[in-house]
């Protein structure tokens, strides 16, 4: 069975994207939630393809 072509996604949280998400949250919280869920799914799928099921959190008190 042939597999569908998979797209590679890179999600960058630039100042422009962050501003867009902030504005979306203010104007349409439901759409903001859907966008966030889509980003999380894309990130999770990318980690699975890379062979990682989780991403370690930074140590408490560290700068991110």
- 23-57 pLDDT, tens digit per residue, is 999 999 999 999 989 988 888 887 777 775 555 66
pTM flag (> 0.75): no
What number is the average pLDDT over the span 11-17? 85
Read off the tokens for 41: 């799914």
Q: Residue 47 belongs to what H/E stretch? A: helix 29-49
pLDDT category at 12 given cuts 50, 70, 90 is confident
List the one residue out of 11, 1, 2 whose CA is nearest residue 47. 11
2 phi/psi in degrees, rounded to 5: -80, 140
């Amino acid at each position: 069975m042939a597999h569908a072509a998979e797209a590679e996604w890179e999600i960058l949280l630039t100042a422009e994207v962050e501003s867009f998400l902030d504005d979306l949250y203010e104007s349409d919280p439901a759409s903001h939630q859907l966008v966030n869920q889509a980003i999380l799914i894309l990130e999770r799928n990318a980690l699975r393809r890379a062979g990682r099921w989780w991403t370690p959190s930074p140590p408490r008190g560290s700068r991110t």
